[in-house]
Amino acid sequence: MSLTESTPEAAARAASIAARTLAVLPVSDRNEALTAMHDALLANKQAILAANARDMTLATQASQSGHLSQSVLKRLDLSRPGKYDDMLSGILDVRRLDDPIGKIDLRTRLDDGLELERVSCPIGVLLIIFEARPEVIANIAALAIKSGNAAILKGGKESSNSFETIATVIGTALEATKVPNAAVQLVKTRDVIDQLLGLDRYIDLVIPRGGNELVRYVKDHTKIPVLGHADGLCSVYLHRDADRDVAVKVVVDAKCDYPAACNAAETLLVHEDVLRTVLPAVAEALLAKGVSLRCDEKSKAALKESLAPSSAVLVQDATEEDFNTEFLDLVMAVKTVPGYPSASQSTTNGDSGSVSGDDTSLELAIAHINTHGSKHTDCIVTASSAAAEKFMSAVDSAGVYWNASTRFADGMRYGFGTEVGISTNKIHSRGPVGLEGLTIYKYKLRGHGQTAAEYGEGKGKRRYKHEKLAP
């Protein structure tokens, strides 16, 4: 990794050249580089945390003056319990994964002596623009090297001390490996984002890591494909047959495990039939964690009947905008889903059954999520397998869950080692993006002098066999 002071175009050109070398580097050499990175970050932990502390001091002052959000401040802090260790573990997890390059997933014999293969290969040069997550440097560097991609990283000013220290440590470690120096670069020059976004000649994919303002800006100012998501507006729907204990566990974790995360739940949809049975228990558990509930009229009325007066201060009236808001804090919008008769209402054992076309409540919940959500991760809590399967098929999100917290939307938890980000795109890669999401494919054709003109329908023409072969 180099701390480049060169022009954006020079950095991108160097990365493009380095990517060609990295793409054919044996996996043993790529893994050796990950080991060197891990060991160097472990040995220099105190120096990196000291640099991060300097960033935190300035960021805390900015937060107190209203110039930096609390969610950004939380993401910046490398000293949070387990965060540094998770960064190190992520590198080792990536090292343990199979080589994503050179995998054959299709083979076809077009004719005797003419065989086609589809083989995985690196994308090329990645541009990662991120804000306050210092660990992103280690995550991206590990994923880029293992997947054979070069990476250009541009960090935010709020974490400049952390970034530079981590980059220096990794760069020194990589000098003793076979990874080209320009394969991973940290751009320090200020105000270069627009220039980088214009370098589609050299850069193949942009991955923005930050708030929705950054992501939307990137998408609006480049011709380069963008992988990422602008918002993490996730919802949990409590269906008419939701189990109370399951609902409490899932909702509390989805909202409170890490409220500033993009996979934290922001909206709670509640079937009208469970407003006075399941919702009060869920609300009490959330309020005990300090969550402020912004409720529609029906859910607020139900909670007023069951909650102690001392809790009323955290139960507020919702506005329509609350259901379009990514709070990234201990705030949750609550909306009632009207109850309607359903042919499946008696099917609550979770083993079988069907959801009839007139299950309007389920359809309304799905419609709300598809209209107001961000296509990130959404969950249904229900005892009905039929309702769950319909929900998971109809909700148009990268992750759809049944009786499980939205916080599972994570590369490490999916077994990807670590992730470069979460994508809500509908092309190339979707959901948590790990090694596989950083590869594309090429077609290799092996022949013996055949020409396309030899094949066709006319007299004397050869016919294609198109015989499928095992990969």
Taking residues 235-249, report their average pLDDT. 97
pLDDT at 149: 96
Q: Which distant-in-sequence residues (6+ apart) come within 8 Å of 386 by Cβ?
A: 344, 347, 352, 353, 354, 355
Confidence of residue 47 (pLDDT cuts 50, 70, 90): very high
As a whole number, the mean pLDDT across the chain is: 90
Residue 348 has pLDDT above 70, yes or no: no
Residue 164 has pLDDT above 70, yes or no: yes
The CATH class of the 234-408 domain is: alpha beta
Separation CA 70–CA 384 (nearest Å):
39
Residue 442 has pLDDT above 80, yes or no: yes
| Bridge pairing between strands 205-209 and 125-130 | parallel
pLDDT at 67: 80
Region(s) of the chain under CATH 3.40.309.10: 234-408
Chain position carrying tokens 């990645």: 126
pLDDT digits (tens, 9 = 90+) for 106-148: 999 999 999 999 999 999 999 999 877 888 889 889 999 999 9
Separation CA 100–CA 85 (nearest Å):
25
Taking residues 31-55, report their average pLDDT. 96
Residue 345 has pLDDT above 50, yes or no: no
| Full DSSP string of 104-156 | EEEEEEEETTEEEEEEEEE--EEEEEESS-THHHHHHHHHHHHHT-EEEEE--
Separation CA 368–CA 446 (nearest Å):
51
pLDDT at 357: 41
Residue 381 has pLDDT above 80, yes or no: yes
Residue 358 has pLDDT above 50, yes or no: no
pLDDT at 196: 95
Q: Are 240 and 383 in contact (CB under 8 A)?
A: no
120 or 308, greater pLDDT: 120
Q: Are 135 and 163 in contact (CB under 8 A)?
A: no
pLDDT at 426: 74
The one-character DSSP state at 466 is -
350 or 39, greater pLDDT: 39
Window from 229-243, 303-317, 352-366 with minimum mean pLDDT: 352-366
The one-character DSSP state at 226 is B
Separation CA 256–CA 158 (nearest Å):
25
Taking residues 423-452, report their average pLDDT. 88
Residue 264 has pLDDT above 90, yes or no: yes
pLDDT at 428: 78
Window from 25-34, 374-383, 417-426 with minimum mean pLDDT: 417-426
Separation CA 72–CA 186 (nearest Å):
20
Chain position carrying tokens 């919940």: 365
2 or 36, greater pLDDT: 36
Q: What percent of the chain has pLDDT above 70? A: 95
Confidence of residue 352 (pLDDT cuts 50, 70, 90): very low
Region(s) of the chain under CATH 3.40.605.10: 2-227+420-439
pLDDT at 355: 54
Residue 406 has pLDDT above 60, yes or no: yes
The one-character DSSP state at 241 is T
pLDDT at 227: 87
pLDDT digits (tens, 9 = 90+) for 65-108: 888 877 778 888 999 899 999 999 999 999 999 999 999 999 99
The one-character DSSP state at 25 is S
Residue 263 has pLDDT above 70, yes or no: yes
Residue 356 has pLDDT above 60, yes or no: no
Domain 2-227+420-439 homologous superfamily, CATH:
Aldehyde Dehydrogenase; Chain A, domain 1 (3.40.605.10)
pLDDT digits (tens, 9 = 90+) for 188-223: 776 789 999 999 999 999 998 877 788 889 989 999
Q: Are 231 and 208 in contact (CB under 8 A)?
A: no
